Amino acid sequence: GSTIGVLGGGQLGRMMAQAGSAMGYRFVTLDPTPDSPCGQVADQIVAAYNDREAAKELAERSDVITYEFENVDAGVAAMLMEESYVPQGSELLYTTQHRLREKRAIEAAGVPVAPYREIGSEEELRAAAAELGLPCVLKTATGGYDGKGQWVLRSLDEVPEAYETLSKARTQLVLEQFIRFDKELSVIAARSPRGEIRTFPVAENIHIHNILHQSIVPARISGAVQLEAEKLAVRIAEGLGVIGLIAVEMFLTPDGKLYVNELAPRPHNSGHYTMEACRTSQFEQHVRAVCNLPLGDPSLLTPVVMVNVLGQHVQPLLERMAQPDEAAERLGTAPKVHLYGKKDAVHQRKMGHVNVLAPDIDSALQWIEETTIWKV
Ligand code: ATP
Ligand code: MG
Ligand code: MG
């Protein structure tokens, strides 16, 4: 069998390796943290992502290389392309690791993004905020996640402090119009080297403190919006020449317009519901795509709500799982618990997720409501 090398050893790599192992592939991951979530289920090279010697070793041991997070040095990715087979290339990484480049690429694919301005100085920020209107969102171009590196500007008085705070990141800044969305949606598309494209069902995402809390599928939207969201994801996958997965985060406004917020060229938290709820999971689909196998059927088997398990939820969840759960019996299928093998259950850290499969969304939401774990 072939070996798949994975840059990054987090939970996305872990679930990729679990899906791919079942298909007969071997996995080796490169990650600086020993015994990483992926390293627990695969071989691991313990080294920094941009350690060229370690990257070379990964290339020697792998028949195909992929990544599970997008902040891999594009230079290292380019080097890996010479040493091994990197079907996703380095261009997609280079584009999606920078918000301005990403927005331009999305627009070039004919897909709308929220109005934005590139910001190079405090004066530019003041002028752009006046132009786009308040509130608006200042973001660092690189390195942000879970809402880190962002400032919601509610008054022009905040301009100096916002500019000074985000400038410390020493990256370009971008100002976005604040979109008063009705819902946040995401679509994950897969594209293989032979050009085959499949999209997973649209997820409706609920964030708490900028961290994904729940993904609800089917999303509670019209069929027309559903089709449009899938169409935008396909346009992006084609326009950016994606190989593997592309996760497309979108805002849906009250008047039915869709704006793309950001992209991730990898499996995505909002696609974890696919593990039991779809005929093919996003992880299997990613392996299929990067290995140029025919893509799997992404269709939905059952309504589902995915709920994230953060550090503070782990202990209550384990206690709850040890108890008989009559409410779960009503669901028909006991909620599917996934934990990532991380040792330190730090507050707000993503430790796992639960897929609540149910005859309908309301029953799944009710189970989550009755299971008091998520009140903290
Ligand atoms: P992730 O962990 O998803 O990578 P991130 O740090 O890259 O997050 P974004 O996805 O850009 O950040 O923003 C986080 C959240 O903040 C969004 O899911 C949305 O709820 C809100 N948000 C971001 N930009 C805007 C905007 N222009 N208008 C309204 N809300 C926004
Ligand atoms: Mg992001
Ligand atoms: Mg996001």
Based on the fold, state whether residues 268 and 309 are members of the same structural domain: yes
Residue 95 lies in a domain: no
Minimum CA distance residue for ligand 1 atom 19: 210
Query: Using an 8 Å Cβ cutoff, are 165 and 122 in contact?
Result: no
Query: Is 70 close to ligand 1, i.e. is its CB under 6 Å away?
Result: no
Per-residue pLDDT of 213-262, as tens digits, reads 999 999 999 999 999 999 999 999 999 999 999 999 999 999 999 999 99
Based on the fold, state whether residues 253 and 337 are members of the same structural domain: yes
Per-residue pLDDT of 82-105, as tens digits, reads 999 999 999 999 999 999 999 999
Per-residue pLDDT of 17-49, as tens digits, reads 999 999 999 999 999 999 999 999 999 999 998
Based on the fold, state whether residues 249 and 318 are members of the same structural domain: yes
Residue 101 lies in a domain: no
What is the percent of the chain with per-residue pLDDT over 70, rounded to a whole number? Answer: 100
- Which of 86, 107, 127 is the last residue before a domain boundary? 86
- CA of 184 relative to ligand 1 center, distance in Å: 10
Based on the fold, state whether residues 150 and 213 are members of the same structural domain: no
CA 243, 67, 296 angle in degrees (round to 5)? 45
Report the CATH number at residue 14.
Answer: 3.40.50.20
Based on the fold, state whether residues 340 and 261 are members of the same structural domain: yes
E strands, 141-274, where? Answer: 150-153, 173-177, 183-191, 197-199, 203-208, 211-217, 244-252, 258-264
Domain count, the chain: 3
Choice from 11, 148, 210, 257 to test ligand 1 binding pocket (greatest atom count within 8 A of CB): 210
Alpha-carbon Rg for the chain, nearest whole angstrom, is: 21
Report the CATH number at residue 169.
Answer: 3.30.1490.20
Based on the fold, state whether residues 357 and 233 are members of the same structural domain: yes
ipTM, two decimals, is 0.99
* Structure token digits, residue 132: 């786009």
E strands, 253-346, where? Answer: 258-264, 304-310, 336-339
- Going by the annotation, the residues of the binding site for ATP are 99, 139, 144-150, 176-179, 184, 207, 261-262
Choice from 261, 308, 349, 350 to test ligand 1 binding pocket (greatest atom count within 8 A of CB): 261
- Which of 147, 177, 207 is the last residue before a domain boundary? 177
Q: What is the distance between the alpha carbons of residues 254 and 73, in angstroms, rounded to a whole number?
A: 39
- CA of 262 relative to ligand 1 center, distance in Å: 8
* Structure token digits, residue 39: 């390293």
Residue 305: give the domain boundaries: 183-375
CA 98, 99, 101 angle in degrees (round to 5)? 70
